[in-house]
Structure 1
Amino acid sequence: MRVVEVTAYGGPEVLRIARRPEPEPGDVPGRVRVRLKAASVNQEDLKIRSGARADALDALAPPFVLGSDFAGTLLDPAPGMPAGTRVAGFVPWMETGGHGTYAEIILAEPEWLAPIPDDVDYTAAASLPLSSVTARQAVDQLGLPSGSTVLITGASGVVGRFAVQHAVADGLRVIALGLPGDEYELGVLGAAHVMPVPRGAPPAVVTGVLTSLPERVDGIFDAALIGAPLLSALKDDGVFVSASQERMPGAERGISVSAVRGRPDQARLKEMLEQVAARKLMTRVADVMPMEEAAEAHRRVEAGHRPGRLVLLI
């Protein structure tokens, strides 16, 4: 089967098409085979490829296969899902030994999978799992009661857009930090107030924008990884959830600080895919490219060419 391998740490040019043996039933006890139709390119893929995650990978080194999000067709039956079922999910890449989803066939734990409704195509399904589940788990981690106010940074990004929608669905009042020009769209998604912040704005600019907040907020989900400059906008004893452990501020004024780590959740993903089919949850596919152009796909994601998730056709 064809895969896209990271041949060495470096830029997008290190991504190459290669051939590997197809997995067989029972190669990993308990896992089932999925023939992929689509896989998404995530920011974490770029960090792993560049070598920024090398210290965390221990003995794992190139060549390996990137990718977490996927959509495809079951080749083996799984509980409640016969062979032939259209499924989507994401693999916890760090636990797979470098066997990611830039491949024609993968082995997956059944609990990583959820059926794709008939009205959702493979590309839309592949754009959803990791980002939407992580955003949902971040909002859950905030633990705010309905009517509370939450500040969501990076609201124009993939995770941020999902977080806005999940928070609104929970009855939270959302203040969104997004890119200039996205005010209308984020308002349509349910944000009560949108504060435009230019991409890559320094902390002083962010702090200046926050001074226009009429009141401090009950919780913050920091999808943009701004960190400590946000704390001035948070009430005493508030809740701060970061999208990464790398940019967590120190706790102060009784504020609870933690980071979210997206984990597969079959029930939640099934619900989200059904919401996409019912037009109650909006996902955005920035572009669709063949697997053979994975290197170019990485270049485009690094350049921030278009908002949304870039999807590889397998």
Structure 2
Amino acid sequence: MKAVVTMKYGSPEMLQLREVDKPVPDDNQVLVKVHAASLNKGNIVMLRGEPVLARPFIGLTKPKHPIPGGDMAGIVEAVGKNIKDFQVGDEVFGDLSASGWGSYAEYVVAPEKALVKKPRNLSFEEAASVPMAAVTALQGLKKGNIKQGERVLIYGASGGVGTFAVQIAKAYGAEVTAFCSEQKKETVESLGADHVYDYKKEDLTNHTARYDLIIGVNGYQPISVYKRALSQAGRYVMIGGSTEKLYESMFLGAWHSLFGKKKMTNLLQRANKEDLEEIRKLLEREKLNPVIDRVFPLNDIQNAFRYMEEGHAKGKVVITI
């Protein structure tokens, strides 16, 4: 089969399309013919090997998993004898980040816990854009203890995680304010955000509104700015971001949380089948609509990564296989 393989850290040129052996499922695995996959910030980390803090998990000197790719959607081609939830011909989607990665390939094997049934109202490309970003958004909102009727701010609302966070917060009954670039305001407004600001024109430092929950996607602002924008008992959750921002949320966030009722923390996303099932139900009820910016074929994977690294994508970047 054809697969994208990377044997060392570096630039997108490290991603090579090669012929490799087709995987064979064991008794507890499903073999899936992959129709589409997608890119997330985690894929960039695995390509570059940065930040170095991630290397104990992704490989100290070279990639631990030579075939990258976490999100995927496809059709079940074979099942192990212990598989109960799926059968040959089922359309599925899932997140392979906790089970060996490998979705940038024509076929992949996965445990049942990594997959759920694909909603019938979604294409394979749409389904592949969902798992990691949507579950990250859901877990961030849950960690922030989102409640109906609360005022929620999504800062960085136009990327993969942000577009899902806006929609999930609305599905939970929140009043949603979003910050993004001017070019992406129309997209974010179409997702149901109640208020949308251009972050270059509306400085959060001088922003007068206060929020019960703030999701800082990539944590662009200093933590003190987010703290100021919280209500008296507000919560801040940072999702992604630089090593500097991660340390800031871990240590300064913990320090700020010791005094007063405001709580500040960060999220480490983990693949979770129950959360993905919740996302699937929201998709089927059309409470969530994936936002896809661009679609690349597998043999153009290098340009897909270059485009992703530019940081201008509205929603997700998808790979067709």
TM range (shorter): 0.7 to 0.9
The question of 1:20 aligning with 2:42 is answered: no
Q: Is the 8 A contact 1:114 1:267 kept in 2?
A: no
The question of 1:8 aligning with 2:8 is answered: yes
Match of 2:194 in 1: 192
Q: Distance in 2 between matches of 1:57 and 1:31?
A: 27
Q: Distance in 1 between matches of 2:133 and 2:107?
A: 22
Match of 2:55 in 1: 57
Deviates more, 1:127-136 or 1:4-13: 4-13
Equivalent residue runs for 1:1-314 within 5 Å: 1-26=1-26, 30-58=28-56, 59=59, 61-62=62-63, 64-77=66-79, 78-93=83-98, 96=100, 99-198=101-200, 208-213=203-208, 215-226=209-220, 227-228=222-223, 229-244=225-240, 246=243, 247=245, 248=249, 249-250=252-253, 251-252=255-256, 253-314=260-321
Q: Distance in 1 between matches of 2:162 and 2:154?
A: 7
Q: Post-superposition shift, 1:53?
A: 4.2
**Structure 1 residues not aligned, in runs of 5+:** 199-204
Q: Distance in 1 between matches of 2:55 and 2:48?
A: 13
Structure 2 residue identity aligned to 1:211: N
Q: Post-superposition shift, 1:56?
A: 2.7
Q: Distance in 2 between matches of 1:5 and 1:55?
A: 23
Give CA deviations for 1:287-307 in whole Å, capped at 9, x if unaligned. Answer: 221111111111111123541
Distance 1:149 1:305, change over 3 A: closer
Structure 1 residue identity aligned to 2:84: P
Distance 1:41 1:56, change over 3 A: same
Distance 1:299 1:181, change over 3 A: closer
Aligned-residue Cα RMSD (Å) equals 2.3
Secondary structure of 2:16's aligned partner: strand
Deviates more, 1:32-41 or 1:277-286: 277-286
Secondary structure of 1:186's aligned partner: helix
Secondary structure of 2:78's aligned partner: coil
Secondary structure of 1:123's aligned partner: helix
Q: Distance in 1 between matches of 2:134 and 2:273?
A: 12
Distance 1:122 1:304, change over 3 A: same
Q: Distance in 2 between matches of 1:307 and 1:24?
A: 37
Q: Post-superposition shift, 1:130?
A: 0.5
Q: Post-superposition shift, 1:24?
A: 1.4
Structure 2 residue identity aligned to 1:84: G
Structure 2 residue identity aligned to 1:194: V
Q: Post-superposition shift, 1:235?
A: 2.5
Q: Post-superposition shift, 1:54?
A: 4.7
Secondary structure of 1:64's aligned partner: coil
Deviates more, 1:253-262 or 1:265-274: 265-274
**Structure 2 residues not aligned, in runs of 5+:** none
Give CA deviations for 1:110-131 in whole Å, capped at 9, x if unaligned. Answer: 0211111333111000001110
